[in-house]
């Protein structure tokens, strides 16, 4: 029993460390500090404890306990609902909303990370049982790294080419090339767009990327992250300064216009390239025979 205790504690510590390592505040300022930290670290510890218990209860043939662990693990599904509801409540306070697709992606991510802590903890206990404590740490860490690597999805820079372009002015209308995106009646606002506005072209690399960029949720996520990373000159009631994304329906290029607070074109391009591609927006028509033939 003493040996199981050491196995359990080491596996619990590794699983909790894995969850804590993934819990960091990035440019999206989510999770919030310190309240969401406390919630997610507590749930991460519970997940790690469940994973660490699997081997000991199986060795003791406590199959009822295994059933209890399975039921407890299913409760992590509530995490997705909790995050979804939390983000939805504050969505109205965002000048540029995340959008439902982005919120759903964040909710799924936080649910999945608890399962990652559980699996890493289980792997650590398995290595401990068959080898030793050192193999437990190394093996559990490798499993956690591999799982974390597989959880990383593509970014906009992986599926498309990002170009900085000039905004086209046609009388009171502005846009990019032949795509008209906004009509502005105020001369002062039109002058601001002319002096400070930035145009972007996101050119898909293939038909998969074209279908993905056409997704409304993905477009909204790009606008939201771009506004967070580079800032926007916008306030409530100033709708003529709102950033916009419009699709060129002829070639699938996504055109964006906005007025940044930080007008550095190099960093604007890098900011767009690092924006994640939402899981729910990914489309892969080239995976199907009909889609490949249509693309040809």
Residue-level pLDDT at 201:
94
Residue-level pLDDT at 193:
87
Q: Do 210 and 267 share a domain, yes or no?
A: yes
CB atoms within 10 A of CB 26: 7
Domain boundary among 119, 137, 152: 152
Give per-residue pLDDT as tens, 172-206. Answer: 888 898 888 888 878 888 888 888 889 999 999 98
Q: Do 124 and 175 share a domain, yes or no?
A: no
Q: Do 185 and 260 share a domain, yes or no?
A: yes
For residue 54, give its domain range.
Answer: 2-152
Q: Do 20 and 136 share a domain, yes or no?
A: yes
Better-predicted residue by pLDDT, 222 or 284:
222
Say whether the peptide bond before residue 100 is cis (omega within 30 degrees of 0): no
Q: Do 114 and 242 share a domain, yes or no?
A: no
Q: Do 51 and 33 share a domain, yes or no?
A: yes
Q: Do 6 and 148 share a domain, yes or no?
A: yes
Q: Do 36 and 168 share a domain, yes or no?
A: no
Residue-level pLDDT at 204:
93
Q: Do 108 and 184 share a domain, yes or no?
A: no
Residue-level pLDDT at 147:
86
Q: Do 244 and 139 share a domain, yes or no?
A: no
Long-range CB contacts (< 8 A, 24+ apart) of 209-214? 209/159, 209/160, 209/252, 210/252, 211/283, 211/284, 211/285, 212/159, 212/277, 212/281, 212/282, 212/283, 213/159, 213/160, 213/247, 213/252, 213/254, 214/247, 214/252, 214/254, 214/283
Beta-carbon contacts of residue 228 (< 8 Å; ≥ 6 apart) = 27, 28
Residue-level pLDDT at 154:
87
Q: Do 138 and 175 share a domain, yes or no?
A: no
Beta partners for residue 169, in sequence order: 174
The pTM assigned to this predicted structure is 0.83
Better-predicted residue by pLDDT, 142 or 41:
142
Number of structural domains in the chain: 2
User: What integer best gives the mean pLDDT of the chain?
Assistant: 83
User: Residue 73: is its pLDDT beyond 80?
Assistant: no
Domain boundary among 152, 176, 209: 152
Better-predicted residue by pLDDT, 203 or 87:
203
Q: What is the mean pLDDT of residues 237-265?
A: 87
Q: Do 138 and 169 share a domain, yes or no?
A: no
Give per-residue pLDDT as tens, 127-181. Answer: 988 888 889 899 999 998 888 888 888 889 999 999 999 988 888 888 898 888 8
User: Residue 235: is its pLDDT beyond 80?
Assistant: no
Domain boundary among 103, 123, 152: 152
């Amino acid at each position: 029993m003493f040996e199981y205790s050491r196995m359990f504690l080491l596996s619990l510590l590794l699983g909790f460390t894995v969850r804590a390592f993934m819990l960091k505040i990035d440019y999206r300022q989510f999770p919030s500090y310190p309240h969401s930290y406390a919630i997610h670290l507590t749930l991460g510890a519970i997940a790690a404890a469940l994973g660490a218990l699997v081997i000991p209860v199986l060795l003791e043939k406590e199959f009822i306990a295994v059933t209890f662990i399975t039921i407890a693990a299913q409760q992590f599904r509530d995490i997705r609902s909790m995050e979804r509801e939390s983000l939805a409540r504050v969505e109205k306070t965002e000048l540029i909303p995340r959008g439902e697709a982005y919120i759903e992606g964040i909710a799924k991510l936080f649910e999945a990370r608890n399962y990652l802590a559980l699996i890493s903890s289980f792997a650590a206990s398995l290595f401990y049982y068959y080898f030793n404590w050192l193999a437990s740490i190394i093996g559990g860490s490798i499993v956690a790294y591999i799982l974390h690597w597989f959880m990383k999805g593509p970014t906009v820079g992986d599926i498309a080419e990002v170009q900085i372009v000039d905004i086209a002015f046609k009388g009171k209308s502005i846009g990019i090339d032949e795509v008209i995106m906004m009509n502005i009646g105020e001369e002062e606002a039109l002058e601001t767009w002319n002096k400070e506005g930035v145009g972007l072209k996101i050119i898909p690399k293939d038909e998969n990327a074209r279908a993905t960029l056409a997704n409304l949720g993905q477009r909204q996520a790009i606008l939201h992250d771009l506004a967070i990373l580079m800032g926007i000159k916008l306030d409530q009631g100033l709708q003529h300064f709102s950033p916009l994304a419009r699709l060129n329906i002829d070639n699938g290029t996504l055109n964006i216009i906005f007025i940044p607070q930080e007008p550095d074109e190099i960093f604007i391009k890098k900011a767009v390239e690092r924006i994640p591609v939402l899981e729910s927006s990914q489309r892969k028509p080239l995976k199907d025979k009909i889609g490949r033939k249509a693309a040809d």
